[in-house]
Amino acid sequence: MSSKVDDKPITRVLFCGPHFPASQNYTRQYLEKYPFIQVDEVALKDVPDHIGSYHLCVVLNMRIDSNVISRANQMKLIMQFGVGLEGVDVDAATRLGIKVARIPGDATGNAASCAEMAIYLILGLLREQVFVMGFGNIGIALAKVLKPFGVKIIATKRSWATYLQVPVPKVQTQNEVVDKLVDKKGRHGDIYELASYADIVVCCLSLTKETIGVVNKSFISSMKKGALLINIARGGLLDYEAVVHHLESEHLGGLGIDVAWTEPFDPDDPILTFKNVIITPHVAGITEHSFRSMAKVVGDVALQLHAGTPLTGIELVN
């Protein structure tokens, strides 16, 4: 690989693996007028051997652990083509001075399409009170769609002081709007109490050490008998055995998930034998609009890295 084009240094962008090909294809289209930005797809098994040649890494569904990061000796930024960073060892990246970032979903259409998936999973089962656990971009988009149906919104958030970590002009003035959307607010410590009020619980939380398996036997037991559980965030939020147990006992009235405990989902998983379970294959955020919007963000960030200017349009986590 040449290090310069017309005497300009090349900024190299690595997409990990062949999955979601539209992500790299749209990014290449966006950057085709900039020959000094090189976008490559590298097979997952080959990433550790090649990551040292790149400046920006888009992880997709690869796990970037400390061993892989230690080989990234030219890396400036590791980012996700979307929101989830649970596969990235952020601490290891931080120790090596590498920034890690996600793309906020409100500006790309990702949050809206995830909210639409939640609506799809809810529609045939709609009740009057919905508990949105994790009131971020997706939760706000979801509440906006549900409110006209006369739904009462219960929501939790780590901090209600701000609604977004990344300033976006169209959302900065929404404090009053959000107040109107939420009928009852709480924090993480209130989830058991709030679950007892809800007819539907929707998981919109990030997957962290603190939230793995948060929807466990104690949580589901605190839900109303017959209440419905929706997960459009990450499969690891739900304790599999707890979910199966409460489906068998009929305490849990139904399950709708776009994310699973293992992906790709096992078609022989016994949970599919329940007639009140709906599963979609992690497609909530996959639309042409959201992919083109996120490709633009990746392209803009690559251009900013190349020019040495401040990074915009992403949410840094370290």
The CATH number of the domain holding residue 221 is 3.40.50.720
User: Greatest CA span in the chain, whole angstroms?
Assistant: 69
Judgement on whether residues 99 and 114 belong to the same structural domain of the protein: no
Judgement on whether residues 158 and 296 belong to the same structural domain of the protein: no
Tokens of 27: 């990014």
Judgement on whether residues 248 and 298 belong to the same structural domain of the protein: no
Spans of the chain below 50 pLDDT = 1-2, 162-173
Domain that holds residue 53: 4-106+288-316
In this prediction the pTM is 0.64
Phi, psi of 51 (to 5 degrees): -60, -25
The pLDDT, as a whole number, for residue 2 is 46
The pLDDT, as a whole number, for residue 165 is 41
Judgement on whether residues 222 and 298 belong to the same structural domain of the protein: no
Distance from the Cα of residue 270 to its chain's centroid: 26
The pLDDT, as a whole number, for residue 219 is 95
The pLDDT, as a whole number, for residue 168 is 43
Q: Count structural domains, the chain.
A: 2
CB-based burial label for 24 (10 Å; 0-12, 13-18, 19+)? buried
Judgement on whether residues 74 and 197 belong to the same structural domain of the protein: no
Judgement on whether residues 262 and 138 belong to the same structural domain of the protein: yes
Judgement on whether residues 145 and 255 belong to the same structural domain of the protein: yes
Asked whether 258 and 235 are in contact (CB, 8 A), the reply is no
Which amino acid type is present at position 229?
L
Asked whether 50 and 71 are in contact (CB, 8 A), the reply is no
Judgement on whether residues 67 and 154 belong to the same structural domain of the protein: no
